[in-house]
Structure 1
Amino acid sequence: MKTATTNFKRFGSIAAIAIAGTMLFSACASNEGGAPADSESTLSGTLDGAGASSQDSAQQAWVAAFQIENPDVTINYEPSGSGAGREAFIAGGVSFAGTDSALSDEEIAGEFGSCVADTGYVQVPAYISPIAVIFNVEGVEELNVDATVLAGIFKGTITTWDDAAIVALNEGVTLPSAPITAVHRSDDSGTTKNFSDYLGKVAPDVWDAEATDTFPYPDAKGEAAQGTSGVVSAVTDGTNTIGYADASKAGDLGVAKLKVGDEFVSYSPEAAAAVVDGSPAVEGRDATDLAIKLDRNTTDPTHYPLVLVSYIIACQEYTDAEVGPLVHDYVAYLTSEAGQAEAASSAGAAPLSSELSAKVATAIESIK
């Protein structure tokens, strides 16, 4: 039997990108008329997933390309947020989840609704991306920040754009004497957890909250918005605004440079990948759980420490035996060289390193 994985090796990422670029697909696109005439895939069925909105652009591209090669498969991905995705997977409402926040020890200790009892789970990195500090400030085209200033802005202790702490980092820039509107996520968000984790590790004297999916300072002045798209819209449509979002969604907004060591650094896929490669695995996890403990305190200016690693969570064995092959081949594709090239092209993601890819491939082989 030829699976979707072998089909993608045959066609390669260039063909998949070229075909996908000629057709319009949604995350739950119909496959009618979209398959190559010589498709040899024997996969069929519907696969439902949900979770990280940071993955949305990549998921749309992955779904489109995968469905072209597998015309009898329909994949739905709802970018409902990392917390909602994990909750849906745990409850058995979806077959896989995307999350920017790795499963907690408490979540792992429980049961997963779609998995056969007493079998394991798989958690693998699939999408590596910088978190961009986006801004829309009148008259300001470039902005430098450090962790201490960011922490003060989002905690609400720095409230105007001409605050001395911001001015000191932006010599020669005229900053308005205007209130800051800091936009954070209103939903449970792995992007928030990564943002909070960075601030807590690099500016702990200011950011004294635990890193959680929920924004930790709800009483701070600012604005809350649903999902990545909500934050981007609020920053875009507001006045003198700042927010944080997956870099793939920054669009035409201003993006701040982040102080790393003695330099101010722009985000890039390469700088995000460098941090991941230099970070250790979370201790005490099974071989199929490849959660990473990111090194936020790097002073290497070739690294961009405000980065998220977004995971795919799946069962090792599904209660519905027909789902396992679909999940296996879809996750194998999106973490493959072809799938990672698709994410880089469509969302500016940083591809998995060869060493990490090998570990991911081994973990995925346990899915059935």
Structure 2
Amino acid sequence: MKLQRKNRLRGLSLGALAVTGALALTACGSDDTGDSGSDGASTAANSSIKCDDAKGQLLANGSSAQKNAIDAWVKQFATACKGVQINYKSEGSGAGVTAFTQGQVAFAGSDSALKPEEVTASKEVCQDGQGINLPMVGGPIAVGYNVPGVEGLVLDAETLAKIFDSKITNWNDAAIKKLNPDAELPNLKIQAFHRSDESGTTDNFTKYLIAAAPDQWKYEGGKAWQAKGGQSAAGSSGVAQQVKQTSGAISYMELSYAKDGIAAAKLDTGAAEPVEATVENATTAIADAKVVGTGSDLALELNRATKADGAYPITLVTYEIVCDKGNKAETLPATKAFLTYIASEEGQKILADNDYAPIPEEIIAKVRTTVASLS
């Protein structure tokens, strides 16, 4: 099954964006890539990116879910801003939050909002301030599978819970047959893969199972995988590679990783029709989210047990975590310039072309206001 590529944005062409490993791009530029206005802001041709006083190296770490989005953003930002080097290590949400609370990075990416104890820890590095959550990237967590001869697979929360808890172990199980009466399901062992590293993707996937299949998924959830059994791999790219090369495999990954031969299951949520993992369906789900953070914190609460038509429930929001006050003086200009760009209309438009969901306007408008107030 080929995933539908919906909501393509006209006139937006990013070129080749596949970048592996940690990204370190330097904006060396030339005279014809930008100009400086009377206020000192430098902008690239055909771009609204403002560099202001941004310079030097910007270190960041965290979510591998947003890596493809970060790659695309840095490509554009580096073209516009001279003398700025951004190095984003996609070591997972847990590693990113730890690096932030230890003062090692200017900002972190996390697919889960900061916990109270992490906010407390952030106050040690944010002078007179604290770490806040800025929702910047949305997207569906696809359930990728590799079952020869099976297209358009439909699964539901209870069946997924049993598969990832090693209670359903074969693809011709009666529960899967019931959801796929017309499919020729093979007598093939299920190879369920989960993340080996602490991951916001794991946190969001298991939050869905807790909300939608509470009788089957008895684990408390979190960034670390808790169920017994199965196999593991590091990062979104790691589990995607395992699914691609392993017959009978299944795992959870961001939509941007579910490609090149990996099919994505539809979810029977109780809606009129099974829901596909698409950018459009993820945006529908995010639009129903509530802001539960206080003050300048914009943490969201998603309705993971939704049965609304066209709402894909296994959806995550990746936060950029930054100090509201007390950011390091040497990195603050570059941090604000980059976050201002990615929260802008231009920056958000890049997401849909890379299988991510833009943050709904009502929420991203609040993000822009908060970024402007960082100090």
Mean CA deviation greater in 35-44 or 179-188: 35-44
Contact 1:144 1:264 in 2 (8 A): yes
Give the 4+ runs in structure 1 shifted more than 6 A: 22-26
The residue matched to 1:54 in structure 2 has which SS? coil
| Residue 288 in structure 1 maps to residue 296 in structure 2 | yes
Amino acid of the structure 1 residue aligned with 2:306? T
1:288 is displaced (CA, Å) by 1.4
Matches within 5 A, 1:256-275: 256-262=265-271, 263-275=273-285
Distance 1:127 1:23 in 2: 17
Q: 1:359 to 1:223 in 2, by over 3 A?
A: same
Name the CA distance, whole Å, in 1 between partners of 2:269 and 2:129: 43
What amino acid sits opposite 1:290 in the alignment? Answer: L
Whether the 8 Å contact between 2:17 and 2:71 is mirrored in structure 1 is: no
Mark the runs of 5 or more structure 1 residues left unpaired by the alignment: 1-12
Q: Structure 2 length normalisation: TM-score? A: 0.88
Q: Give the Cα separation in 1 of the matches to 2:218 and 2:18.
A: 45
Provide the C-alpha distance between the structure 1 equivalents of 2:250 and 2:18, rounded to a whole number of angstroms: 32
Q: Given that residues 134 and 250 in structure 1 are in contact (C-alpha distance below 8 angstroms), is that contact kept between their aligned partners in structure 2?
A: yes
The match for 2:26 is 30
Q: Secondary structure at the match of 1:39?
A: strand
Letter in 2 for 1:337: E
Which amino acid is the alignment partner of residue 148 of structure 1? E
1:134-175 Cα offsets, whole Å, 9 max, x none, are 000122122100000000000110111111000000011111
In structure 1, C-alpha distance between the alignment counterparts of 2:97 and 2:352, rounded to whole Å:
25
2:254 to 231, 246, 252: 246
Structure 2 partner of 1:8: none
Conserved? CA contact 1:89–1:112, under 8 Å: no
User: Greater shift after overlay, 257-266 or 63-72?
Assistant: 257-266
Residues 161 and 108 of structure 1, relative CA distance in 2, 3 Å threshold: same
Which residue of 196, 199, 205 corresponds with 2:215?
205
SS of residue paired to 1:201: helix
Shift of 1:298: 1.0
Distance 1:136 1:62, change over 3 A: same
Residue in 1 aligned with 2:190?
Answer: 180
Q: CA deviation at 1:359?
A: 1.1
CA displacement at 1:352 relative to structure 2: 1.7
Give me the whole-angstrom Cα distance separating, in 2, the residues matched to 1:22 and 1:173. 36
Q: Which runs of 5+ in 2 are unaligned?
A: 1-8, 37-41, 43-52
Match of 2:147 among 124, 137, 152: 137
Indicate conservation of the 8 Å contact 1:272/1:307, yes or no.
yes
Cα distance, 1:21 vs structure 2? 2.6
Give the Å deviation of 1:23: 8.9
Deviations 1:86-111 (A, max 9, x none): 01001111110011011011111223
CA RMSD of aligned residues (A): 2.0
DSSP-derived class of the 1:29 partner: strand
Normalising by structure 1, we get a TM-score of 0.90
**What letter corresponds to residue 108 of structure 2 in structure 1?**
A
Pick from 310, 318, 343: which aligns with 1:335?
A: 343
Spell out, residue by residue over 1:27-49, the C-alpha distance to the aligned partner (whole angstroms, 9 max, x if none).
Answer: 21233356744332242111011
Change (3 A) 1:325 1:248: same
Farther off after superposition, 27-36 or 184-193: 27-36
Q: Deviations over 1:189-226 (max 9, x none)?
A: 00000000000110000101112001111x22x21000
Q: Which residue pairs with 1:95 in the alignment?
A: 106
Matched, 1:214 2:224: yes
SS in 2 for 1:21: coil
Aligned to 1:361: 368
Partner of 1:28, secondary structure, is strand
**Could you give the per-residue CA deviations for residues 53-86 of structure 1, whole angstroms, max 9, x where no partner exists?**
0101100011110111102111111111011100
Distance 1:157 1:23, change over 3 A: closer
1:152 equivalent in alignment to 2:162? yes
SS of alignment partner, residue 330 of structure 1: helix
Q: 2:179 aligns with which of 169, 172, 178?
A: 169
Whole-Å Cα distance in 2 between the matches of residues 198 and 319 of structure 1? Answer: 34
Q: Which residue of 1 aligns with 2:73?
A: 62
Question: Out of 79, 101, 109, which is 2:120 matched to?
Answer: 109
C-alpha distance in 1 between matches for 2:80 and 2:237:
29
- Equivalent residues of 2:95, 2:198 under 8 A apart: yes
**Is the 8 Å Cα contact of residues 35 and 68 (structure 1) preserved in structure 2?**
no
SS at match of 2:35: coil
Contact 1:101 1:190 in 2 (8 A): yes
| Greater share of helix | 1
Decide whether the 8 Å contact of 1:39 with 1:69 is kept in 2. no
Amino acid at match of 2:129: T
